[in-house]
């Protein structure tokens, strides 16, 4: 095994891959090849209700059809909940988590109008931050669902003590190799959800844990995850894992300017394939080649 760069493509099998995924996968694969690095595929299937084996199988088939090859075994997040629990236990041991029993509706009702997180969701108004441990225990005993939230102020303060200086990340330009230092601003997310009772991790915790476990040095993904890097950097400091470089590529958009999503069925690779498209056509449609 070389010590060269390590790249990964990390789709969630909760819908069909579309042109935006093809773009992301091909950009990552080709960059790994150009830099003499490794290319890993990771299946992000922590949402056991929405992620389905047949969607995963279709996904792997689409990627192979595009001409991508990856290392085996493929890491499947659903097989590694114990890794996320270990990370969660570490954060809990640092006294950075608290349970929140509030429903989405309750949070929306108490949120301050106009105060949203970078994804546009109402900023958590701190509802259960001061809940007594007796009440939390009683509600847990009554089997109430809850989320574990990060005490953001305390987490930032703790991270600062562990790694003095501003929290930043390196955004690399794949064309010329330039690395730009970007500020990471996790406070704009408020007390983010780090795990839930029914799914004992979150996207953020799983991604940071896996990128570290798999030795990922270069994270390439769409611009829609740019702001999530704030939380990932904070967690990397708190969990004492290495910091990868990041490249957030431009998103493909539909005619109305909306980013492609899994609900755009007509843009799915499966339906384009069924309609006779070739891998070259997909590259063209994803904006990777000129006519
Ligand atoms: N699983 C995420 C998605 O499908 C991508 C995670 C990442 O690249 O960090 O949107």
Domain residue ranges in the chain: 1-78+252-291, 80-212
End-to-end CA distance of the chain: 38
Nearest atom, ligand 1, residue 228 CA: 9
What is the predicted pLDDT for the residue at 176? 93
Tell me, using a 6 A CB cutoff, whether residue 21 lines ligand 1.
no
Q: Pick from 15, 28, 31, 44 the residue to mutate for probing ligand 1's pocket: most ligand atoms within 8 Å of its CB.
A: 44
Give 221 Cα–ligand 1 centroid separation in angstroms: 7
Q: What's the token pair of residue 93?
A: 């041991």
The CATH number assigned to the domain with range 80-212 reads: 3.90.800
Nearest atom, ligand 1, residue 9 CA: 8
pLDDT string in tens for the chain (291-residue length): 557 999 999 999 999 999 999 999 999 999 999 999 999 999 999 999 999 999 999 999 999 999 999 999 999 999 999 999 999 999 999 999 999 999 989 999 999 999 999 999 999 999 999 899 999 999 999 999 999 999 999 999 999 999 999 999 999 999 999 999 999 999 999 999 999 999 999 999 999 999 999 999 999 999 999 999 999 999 999 999 999 999 999 998 877 777 777 666 668 999 999 999 999 999 999 989 876
Nearest atom, ligand 1, residue 21 CA: 4
CA distance 45 to 42: 9
Q: What letter would DSSP give residue 82? A: H
Q: Is the pTM of this model over 0.85?
A: yes
Tell me, using a 6 A CB cutoff, whether residue 221 lines ligand 1.
yes
CA distance 133 to 253: 47
Please provide the DSSP assignment of 119-145 as one string: TSPBPP--TTTT--HHHHHHHHHTT--
220: three-class secondary structure by DSSP:
strand
Task: Give the residue, by CA position, lying nearest to ligand 1 atom 6.
Answer: 10
pLDDT digit string, tens, across residues 143-186: 999 999 999 999 999 999 999 999 999 999 999 999 999 999 99
Tell me, using a 6 A CB cutoff, whether residue 77 lines ligand 1.
no
Give 203 Cα–ligand 1 centroid separation in angstroms: 8
CA distance 249 to 24: 8
Give me the architecture of the 1-78+252-291 domain, per CATH. Answer: 3-Layer(aba) Sandwich (3.40)
């Amino acid at each position: 095994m070389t010590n060269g760069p390590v790249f990964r493509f990390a789709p969630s099998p909760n819908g069909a891959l579309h042109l935006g995924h093809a773009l992301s996968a091909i950009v990552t694969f080709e960059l790994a090849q150009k830099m003499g690095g490794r290319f890993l595929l990771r299946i992000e299937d922590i949402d056991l209700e929405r992620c389905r084996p047949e969607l995963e199988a279709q996904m792997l088939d689409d990627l192979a059809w595009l001409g991508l090859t990856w290392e085996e075994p493929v890491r499947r997040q659903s097989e590694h909940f114990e890794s996320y629990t270990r990370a969660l236990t570490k954060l809990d041991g640092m006294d950075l988590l608290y349970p929140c029993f509030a429903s989405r509706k309750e949070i929306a009702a108490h949120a301050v109008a106009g105060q949203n997180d970078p994804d546009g969701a109402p900023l958590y108004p701190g509802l259960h931050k001061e809940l007594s441990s007796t009440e939390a225990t009683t509600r847990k005993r009554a089997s109430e669902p809850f989320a574990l939230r990060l005490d953001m102020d305390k987490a930032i303060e703790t991270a600062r003590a562990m790694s003095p200086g501003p929290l930043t990340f390196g955004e690399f330009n794949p064309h010329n190799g330039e690395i730009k230092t970007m500020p990471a601003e996790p406070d704009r997310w408020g007390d983010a959800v780090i795990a839930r009772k029914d799914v004992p991790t979150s996207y953020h915790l799983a991604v940071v844990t896996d990128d570290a476990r798999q030795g990922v040095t270069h994270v390439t993904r769409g611009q829609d995850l740019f702001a999530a890097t704030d939380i990932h950097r904070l967690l990397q400091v708190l969990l004492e894992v290495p910091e990868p470089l990041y490249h957030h590529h431009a998103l493909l958009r539909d005619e109305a300017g909306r980013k492609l999503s899994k609900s755009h069925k007509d843009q799915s690779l499966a339906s384009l394939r069924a309609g006779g498209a070739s891998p070259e056509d997909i590259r063209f449609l994803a904006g990777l080649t000129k006519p």
